[in-house]
Amino acid sequence: MKLLYRLGFYLVGFSIGLIFLSVILKGKKTSCNYGPNDRVISNLSKKSWKQQNKLSSAFDSIAFQAFLSKASVDFGKSNTQKDSCKVYYINGYWADKPISITVENCEKTVEVLLLNYRSQ
């Protein structure tokens, strides 16, 4: 069999496989979070969260999800070596002001420990 025929059969099979995968995965909530920052943000956004001392009444669950969508984790300041609840330091923007929050990521909940407004 000639190389050109083999390449043609390969491309036809590959395209059928891609179409098959797109039909199966269409409508499912799949994501490709390969980076450590994306995995932590995805994990935090799936859990219920609570505030320690009513830090800000305007910082509700919807606002927290919007904050997480554009936030980044500072792993240098985070404590990820703990066994039970890891502590993450997250930088982001809230109402166009830079803020940083410290959260404790437990098995089922996320607790906001500290909310700091940073200077630009």
Per residue in 4-51, pLDDT (tens digit) is 999 999 999 999 999 998 888 887 777 777 889 989 998 888 888 777
Tens digits of residue pLDDT in 52-61: 665 555 566 6
At 7 the three-state DSSP class reads helix
CA dihedral 55, 59, 60, 64 (to 10 degrees): -110
Distance (Å) of CA 16 to CA 2, 9, 13, 24, 92: 22, 11, 5, 12, 42
Domain ranges of the chain: 1-30, 36-117
Full-model pTM: 0.68
Tens digits of residue pLDDT in 67-90: 888 899 999 999 888 888 899 999
Question: How does strand 72-79 pair with strand 48-51?
Answer: unpaired
Tens digits of residue pLDDT in 84-119: 889 999 998 887 888 888 889 988 888 888 877 776
Q: What is the pLDDT of residue 96?
A: 81
The answer to whether 64 and 56 are in contact (CB under 8 A) is no
